Structure 1
Amino acid sequence: MHLDRAGADGRGTMSARRRRHGHGLGWPVAAAGMALTVVAAGCGSTAGNRTAPANGPSDGPPRSPHPTASALPLVDAQAADPIRIRVPGVGIDAPIGPLRVGADGVLPPPRAFDRAGWWQAGPEPGERGPAVIVGHVDSYRGPAVFFRLSTIADGARIFVDRADGSTAVFAEQRIERRAKTAFPTKAVYGSTSDSELRVITCGGRFDRRKRSYRDNVIVFARRVR
C-alpha cells in the first residue's frame, strides 16, 4: 500500500511499570546467497506516552515515484561505512552504527533511541543496491530518531555522511506503510541497478498487548548528484 504519508497514530498511556521495549515483526532480510529470513525486532515505542508528530500526516492517496531523481544514477564501486544520516526537512540528524543479524535470524534495532542503525551485511550507502537504515520512532520518554520520518516531503534529500568524509545524497522516491506481518522483503532488499536507500521505522496503530506498532514506515530513495 503506497501512502502519501504514514504517521504513528497510536495514542494513550501506560503505567510506568508497563513501559518496556516494544517487540514485533520487523524487517525480513534478503542478501546475496542467503535465504529470506523473517526478522523479529522492535523499531518503535517502549510504550509510554506517545504523541503524533507535530503537524503530522494522515493517510492519503498513492504517491508515484519522482522521475527527476531517477534520471541521475550514481554508483560507487566501493564506499566507506555510513556514520551519520541527515534529513534537514524533518529535523533528522543522527549517528549511524552497524547492525548485524544474530544467530537467531534477528536484526535488532539500535539500542539507543537517538541513533540509527545500518544493516551491515548489505551495501554501503552509495554502492550498487539497496542500503538499509533503521531506527526507533519513539520511546516512553518521547520522540526517537525517526519520529518525523513519516512527514518527509516529496523528493526530499537524505544525506548519508561516510567515514572517509564523503556524503552520499539520496532523493525520496516514495513512502509506504506496511503491516509488519506483510513486510515487502523483495522491494526493500531486492537487487537494483543503481544506488538506493531504504529508511525504516515503525508506524500505524500501537498494539498495547504486544507493546509495539503494527506497521513499518518505509522511505524508498535513490541516489542523486
Structure 2
Amino acid sequence: MPAGSPLSGGGRARLAATTVALLALLAGCGPALPPRGVGTTAASAPPPASTPADAQAAAPVRLRIPAIGVDAPVTPLDVGADNVLPAPDTDEGTGWWRGGPEPGERGPAVIAGHVDSYQGPAVFFRLAELEPGQRVLVDRADGTTAVFVTTRRERHAKDAFPAEVVYGDTPGAELRLITCGGEFDRTGRRYLDNIIVYAVLER
C-alpha cells in the first residue's frame, strides 16, 4: 500500500466487510470438473524474515505453498465498475485483492485462484487438502517474504459466504486463500461453494 494512502490495511478490511458484491470473488472458477490424481512438488527453502505486521509491506509477487505444490505468480485484482472483484485471468497464477492489505500488513490479505478449467487442474486445485499448521509463503516486490501458518479450512455455499469473517478487521496480519469447490453445477457451469483457507503471520 503506498505511503499516505487514506485507508490502512485494517481500515480497508473494515470497509471490505461491508462490500457485499465481493461475495462474487470467485464466481467464475474453472468451468470443468477436475480430473483426479495430481502430484506434488518439492518443498521450498525457508525464506528471509518478513516485515512486522504494523509496518508498510510491499506488494506480493509470488505465492508458495510447499504442502500442495503451489509456486505461482501473484497479480493484483481490482474491483470493476460493477463493484465485483474478478477472478484471476490465468489458471496458473493467483490474484491478490489490491484494495485490501498487503500480505504482512495488519488485516486480512486475500489471494484468490482457480480450482480447475477445461484443460485440467488449476493453481488452487489442491487447496482443500491444506491442514492447520502448514506454511504459506508470500514473496514480495522488495525481496522479502511473509511467512504464514494455516489455522483452518472452511467450505461455504457461495450464497452464504462469510464476508464479515473473511474481510473483517483482525488484530494482526492474516491471509485468506480462496477458490471454488463443492458440487459442480453442470447447467450453470459453476461450482456452488467456496473453499477458504485462513492463515496467520508467523514471521
TM range, smaller chain: 0.7 to 0.9
CA deviation profile, 1:125-155 (whole Å, cap 9, x unmatched): 0000000000000000000010011111321
**Shift in alpha-carbon separation, 1:54–1:121, aligned structure 2, 3 A:** same
- Please, which moves more after superposition, 196-205 or 35-44? 35-44
Residue pairs, 1:92-131, within 5 angstroms: 92-131=70-109
CA deviation profile, 1:141-194 (whole Å, cap 9, x unmatched): 000010011111321000000000000000000000000000000000000010
Q: What is aligned with 1:217? A: 195
1:85, 1:93 within 8 Å by CA — same for their partners in 2?
A: yes
Q: What is aligned with 1:46? A: 31
- CA separation in 1, counterparts of 2:169 and 2:15? 12
Residue pairs, 1:188-203, within 5 angstroms: 188-203=166-181
Q: What is aligned with 1:78? A: 56
Q: How many positions carry a matched residue from both structures?
A: 177
Contiguous gaps of at least 5 residues in structure 1: 1-29, 56-73
Contiguous gaps of at least 5 residues in structure 2: 1-11, 40-51
Q: What is aligned with 2:44? A: none
- Please tell me the root mean square deviation across aligned C-alpha atoms, in Å: 1.7
Residue pairs, 1:58-207, within 5 angstroms: 74-207=52-185
1:130, 1:188 within 8 Å by CA — same for their partners in 2?
A: yes
- CA separation in 1, counterparts of 2:191 and 2:89? 17
**Larger helix share, 1 or 2:** 2
- CA separation in 2, counterparts of 1:108 and 1:208? 21
Fraction of identical pairs, as percent: 55
1:43, 1:137 within 8 Å by CA — same for their partners in 2?
A: no
1:44, 1:202 within 8 Å by CA — same for their partners in 2?
A: yes
1:53, 1:148 within 8 Å by CA — same for their partners in 2?
A: no
Give the residue type in structure 2 aligned to 1:121. Answer: G
Give the residue type in structure 2 aligned to 1:51. Answer: P
- CA separation in 1, counterparts of 2:19 and 2:64? 30
1:109, 1:117 within 8 Å by CA — same for their partners in 2?
A: yes
Cα drift, residue 77 of structure 1: 1.5
Cα drift, residue 32 of structure 1: 4.1
2:13, 2:107 within 8 Å by CA — same for their partners in 1?
A: no
3-state SS in 2 of match to 1:38:
helix
3-state SS in 2 of match to 1:112:
coil
